[in-house]
Amino acid sequence: MKGLSIVLFFLTTVSTYSQEWIIVDILEQSKKELVYKIDNGEEVKKKTVKNPSIVKLIMDFQSEGFQLKSVTQGIELDLNGTLPMINNRNNNFGVSNLNLSNNNRVMLWFEKK
């Protein structure tokens, strides 16, 4: 009986102090729109809003009961193109048509208690 009451107490405390986290990954920001992904742990949704303000986006999530815990930034590097397979007279130094694009990504970490 004593063990059962301890288990019930533990289950009620775990359920009352559970937290909900979401990660907002900002993909693109232009003068006209803001494109971002929302990861809530179960699914990832891609959304586009006409207001390109990140501050307004943060305020919208805070009005829903979320609290901004952390802001992280990552760099996404894309290397596109082809490498030359053979060295010939026209391509002595192995010059190729590789394009390197650098995308800075901002991620907002929200917590809801």
| Phi, psi for residue 19 in degrees, rounded to 5 | -125, 150
Q: What percent of the chain has pLDDT over 70?
A: 60
Contact in structure between 65 and 112 (CB atoms under 8 Å)? yes
Mind giving me the DSSP string for 68-99? Answer: EEEEEEEEEEEEES---SS--TT-TT-----E
What pTM was computed for the model?
Answer: 0.62
Higher-pLDDT residue of 110, 93: 110
Average pLDDT, the chain: 77
**Per-residue pLDDT, 109:** 94
Q: Over the stretch 52-61, which tens digit does the pLDDT of each residue have?
A: 889 999 999 9
Contact in structure between 71 and 107 (CB atoms under 8 Å)? yes
